[in-house]
Structure 1
Amino acid sequence: MSVFKRNGMGNYYIQFNHNGKTYCKSSKTTNKRTAERMERDWRDEIHRIEELGERPRITLKDALNGYVQSKANTGSSVYAKNNLPAIESKMDTSVFIDELRDWDLNKFKSSREADGMAPQTIKHNLQAIRSAIAWAKDHGYQIKPLTFPKVKLNKHRLRYLSHDEEARLLADLDPKRKRPYRPDYEFRPAAENRMYQDNYDLVVLLLDTGARYSEIANIKWSAIDLENGIINLWRPKVRNESIIYMTSRVKDILTRRYSDRVSDDHLFTNLDGQQRGYQSKGIRSAFQRAGITDFKIHDLRHTCASRLVQAGLSLYEVASILGHTDVSTTQIYAHLERKDVSAKARDVLENLHRLTQGELQ
Structure 2
Amino acid sequence: MASFQKRQGAWRAIVRKKGHPSQSKTFTTKARAQKWARQVEDLIEAGHVGEGGIPTLDELFGWHLAHLDKTSDRGRKNFTAANNMKKGLGKETLISELNYLKLQVYCETRISVDGVKPSTTLLDALFLSGSITTGVVEGRLHADYKTKVSGWLSGLKRGGLIGRPEDRERRPTDAEIELLLTHTKHNRALRTIRYNDVIRFAIESCMRLDEICTLRWSDYDAKNGTIIVRLRKHPTQKTDQVVPLMGDCQAIIDAQPRTNEKIFPFNNESVSNGFRRICDHLGIVNLHFHDLRHEGISRLFERGYQIQEVAMVSGHRDWKSLKRYVNLRPSDLVKRDRDRVAPI
Tell me the TM-score normalised to structure 2 length.
0.71
Runs (5+) with no aligned partner, structure 2: 4-10, 28-32
Shift of 1:216: 0.7
Aligned residue for 1:64? 61
Identity over aligned residues, as a percent? Answer: 21
- Aligned counterparts of 1:195 and 1:246: Cα–Cα separation in 2: 25
Distance in 2 of aligned mates of 1:72 and 1:112: 26
Q: Can you list the C-alpha shifts for 1:49-95, whole angstroms capped at 9, x where unaligned?
A: 7xxxx550433332222222222263312111011222112214434
Residue of structure 1 in register with 2:254 after alignment: 255
2:79 corresponds to = 81
What amino acid does structure 2 have at the position aligned with 1:119? P
The equivalences for 1:152-191 within 5 A come to 152=163, 155=166, 157-174=168-185, 177=186, 179=187
1:300 is displaced (CA, Å) by: 0.9
Structure 2 match to 1:224: 220
> Which secondary structure does the structure 1 equivalent of 2:210 belong to?
helix
Give the match for residue 331 of structure 1. 323
Bigger Rg, which one: 1
Query: Is the 8 Å Cα contact of residues 226 and 254 (structure 1) preserved in structure 2?
Result: no
Mapped partners of 2:264, 2:247: distance in 1: 20
- 1:68 partner letter: L
Instruction: Give 2:276's aligned amino acid.
Output: R
For 2:138 and 2:38, the matched residues in 1 are separated by 24
Q: Distance in 1 between matches of 2:96 and 2:312?
A: 40
State the alpha-carbon separation in 2 of the partners of residues 317 and 212 from structure 1: 18
Counterpart in 1 of 2:262?
266
In structure 2, the residue matched to 1:284 is: 276
Residue 110 of structure 1 deviates from its aligned partner by: 1.6
Aligned partner (choices 107, 110, 135) of residue 109 of structure 1 = 107
Counterpart CA distance in 1 for 2:41 and 2:101 is 33
Q: Deviations over 1:297-350 (max 9, x none)?
A: 1111111122123333455554443223554332324663998778888999x7
Equivalent pairs counted in the alignment come to: 314
- CA deviations 1:262-320 (Å, max 9, x no partner) are 12x22233xxxxx5342225433443455532211111111112212333345555444
Change (3 A) 1:129 1:27: closer
**Distance in 2 between residues matched to 1:315 and 1:69, nearest whole Å:** 38
Distance 1:62 1:342, change over 3 A: farther
CA contact (8 A) 2:226 2:242 kept: yes
2:182 & 2:92 partners in 1: Cα distance?
54
State the AA in 2 paired with 1:278.
E
1:60 partner amino acid: L
Task: Say yes or no: does 1:214 pair with 2:210.
Answer: yes
Q: Give the conservation status (yes or no) of the 8 Å contact 1:105–1:148.
A: no
**Counterpart selection for 1:195 from 187, 192, 196:** 192
Q: For the residues of structure 1 that align with 2:286 and 2:93, how far apart are their CA atoms?
A: 42
Contact 2:232 2:241 in 1 (8 A): no
Task: For residue 244 of structure 1, give the secondary structure of its aligned residue in structure 2.
Answer: strand
The residue identity in structure 1 corresponding to 2:226 is I
- Report the residue type matching 2:117 in the other structure: A
Which amino acid is the alignment partner of residue 66 of structure 2? Q
1:302 aligns with 2:294: yes
Match of 1:322 in 2: 314
Q: Residues 77, 236 of structure 1: CA spacing in aligned structure 2 closer, same or farther, 3 A cutoff? A: farther
Q: Is 1:149 aligned to 2:156, yes or no?
A: yes
In 2, the alpha carbon distance for the partners of 1:118 and 1:55 equals: 36
Distance 1:137 1:339, change over 3 A: farther
- Conserved 8 A contact 2:204-2:247: no
State the secondary structure of the residue aligned to 2:324: helix
Q: What's the counterpart of residue 7 of structure 2? A: none
CA shift at 1:232, angstroms? Answer: 0.5
Contact 1:202 1:217 in 2 (8 A): no
Contact residue 315 and residue 334 of structure 1 kept, 8 A:
no
Output the CA distance in 2 between the equivalents of 1:121 and 1:134.
20
- Once residues 293 and 193 of structure 1 are traced to their aligned partners in structure 2, the CA distance between those partners, rounded to angstroms, is 20
* Deviation readout 1:133-155 (Å, 9 max, x if unpaired): 22222222212354441145674
Q: TM-score, normalised by structure 1?
A: 0.68
* Cα RMSD after superposing both structures: 4.4
Conserved 8 A contact 1:309-1:337: no
Distance change (3 Å), C-alpha of 1:125 and 1:327: farther
